[in-house]
Chains A and B, each alone.
Chain A
Amino acid sequence: MRALVVLAAWLAVAVSTPRLQAPERDAPVQTVEVSAERFTFTPSQIKTTLGTTLRIRLRSDDTTHGFRIVGTNTNIEVPKRGHGVATVDFTPEHAGKYEFQCAKLCGAGHAFMRGVIVVKDAGAR
């Protein structure tokens, strides 16, 4: 009975605790620091290679922003200035360009908050 209670508690914690998206096993990890501010991501262009897991650490210099990679399941909230860093792992599935954008309405110029992840296939000539 006690084991059942412990298992239930462990499951509850495991389900409710925020976590990183697990990087692909053995994939190299490239960490990128991105700042978000009305109405800019800096850098707004991130370059990586296919097979690499991007660990993106986002920090806001003002209000709450969103970070969404179009066409993927990556969509996180970037907390307000002074309220921490949001971290997300993203492993591109193909070479090419992935656009990202602010997904939380943040002001008059919200629509300008966009950027791109450029993924090159290191094995391709």
Chain B
Amino acid sequence: MCALLVAVAPGVGRAQDTALSGYMDFHYNKTEFEDGRLDFHRFVVLLTHRFSDRIRFVGELEVEHAFVEGLEEGGELELEQAYVDFLFSRSFNIRAGMLLMPVGIINERHEPPTYYGVERPFVDTFLIPTTWFEAGAGVHGEVGRGWRYRAYVAAPLNAAKFSAEEGLREGRQKGSNANARSLATTGRLEYVGIRGLTAGASFWAGNSGFEFEPRFGVPVRVFDLDARYSRDRVDLRGEFAHVSVQNAGELNDALFRQSGVNPNVAGGMQGNYLEAGYRLLSGRRFGEVGAFVRHERFDTQFRMPAGYIPLPQFDRQAWVVGATYWPDPDIAIKVDYVVQRNRSTSIAAPNSFNVGLGWWF
């Protein structure tokens, strides 16, 4: 292995005061029984500015699905991160602004070349609604040989947007004039002391029933355990997530009175996945090729409130198999096939074929 000897010249000790980076994600999705779709899924620009060695700003602005028009579902312009860090020491720092919720593997580490698969895992879509960001503030730091923590308060999820199919996904307030009558708390403890290994536990707790008259509580809890190991050619990861929605029966009743439709929101949701990847080819000139397989279970009707029956089509599992070609470590060309199954005897879960191109700069 060649060694690159780096000059250390006087005057280079200052980091860049302002820097720009970003990532993009372009997909072709062909779902069974539907027409294929081409989607420029994400166009993200990251911006950082260093006011001093102790104060810095990080921002992340995203255009989703390439087109934004009023309240159309076609696209979104999202401010996913915009915070100021006050860096006191390695073990204690304060952060405030628009924050990524520190839950799971993908939410805080979601650049396309960093994960296998064209789309993010289902568990990191429906149970942990990535990209999950809210306005808030908190502390973070690292102690000892690789023990990290984050603890934030932030705007809660909005239970009026929960659903039987997509779980918590639409409940994010996204820091947009968010109701903050009762702040949510979230935190994560993780160990990063061994090269290639990240193992963590996360929680999120908030009262999400603020949109109803008369008001009633809908306490929501999210708990996650995850681990990721990546060394040389091997990539392994696993995640378990559990969601509890208290007073889900009262929530369903209130939503039924509003819309005339029973949303059948569950009192409990649960999911997990295991993934293994291996880099089959590796060379500096042509890049790397890796193959992977992932198995997911995700049940957004895991435990129902009294009087409600679970919809079996939303108790799902999926096998995802595919490959990634990295012509450069910052460019990923992906292809995968998703085989989905559910417990319904009448509604089939569609399979899908996906191709993606993602890059970081």
Cα(A110)–Cα(B48), bound, Å: 10
B48-A105 in contact (CB<8A): yes
Which chain A residues in 54-92 approach chain B with CB under 8 Å? 57, 60-64, 66, 68-77, 79-89
Minimal Cβ-Cβ distance residue in B for A60: B329
CB within 8 A of A76: which of B8, B90, B108? B8
Cα(A18)–Cα(B330), bound, Å: 25
Smallest CB separation, A75 vs chain B (Å):
5
Whether, in the assembled complex, B172 has its beta carbon less than 8 Å from a beta carbon of chain A, the answer is no
B interface bracket (residues with beta carbon within 8 Å of A): 35 or more
Which residues does chain B contribute within 8 Å of A107, judged by CB atoms?
A: 21, 23, 46, 109, 111, 114, 360
B90-A116 in contact (CB<8A): yes
Interface size on A, residues (CB 8 A): 57
A86-B6 in contact (CB<8A): yes
A42-B146, A71-B53 known; A77 vs B6 contact (CB < 8 Å):
yes
A85-B3, A115-B90 known; A43 vs B14 contact (CB < 8 Å):
no
A63-B329, A114-B142 known; A108 vs B109 contact (CB < 8 Å):
yes
Which residues does chain B contribute within 8 Å of A125, judged by CB atoms?
A: none
CB within 8 A of A40: which of B81, B192, B231? B192
How many A-B contacts at CB < 8 Å in the complex?
A: 155
A42-B13 in contact (CB<8A): no
A18-B4, A85-B4 known; A108 vs B146 contact (CB < 8 Å):
no
Whether, in the assembled complex, B113 has its beta carbon less than 8 Å from a beta carbon of chain A, the answer is yes
Whether, in the assembled complex, A103 has its beta carbon less than 8 Å from a beta carbon of chain B, the answer is yes
A79-B108 in contact (CB<8A): no
Cα(A35)–Cα(B4), bound, Å: 15
A35-B195, A45-B145, A111-B58 known; A84 vs B4 contact (CB < 8 Å):
yes
A83-B284 in contact (CB<8A): yes
A81-B329, A84-B2 known; A38 vs B8 contact (CB < 8 Å):
no
A44-B192, A82-B282, A108-B100 known; A63 vs B6 contact (CB < 8 Å):
no
B85-A111 in contact (CB<8A): yes
Q: List 9 A-B contacts (CB under 8 A).
A: A38-B109, A44-B142, A63-B113, A73-B11, A74-B13, A75-B8, A77-B6, A110-B48, A116-B90
Q: Can you name 7 extra interface pairs (CB under 8 A) apart from A75-B12, A84-B1, A110-B48?
A: A19-B7, A73-B11, A74-B13, A76-B8, A84-B2, A87-B3, A107-B111
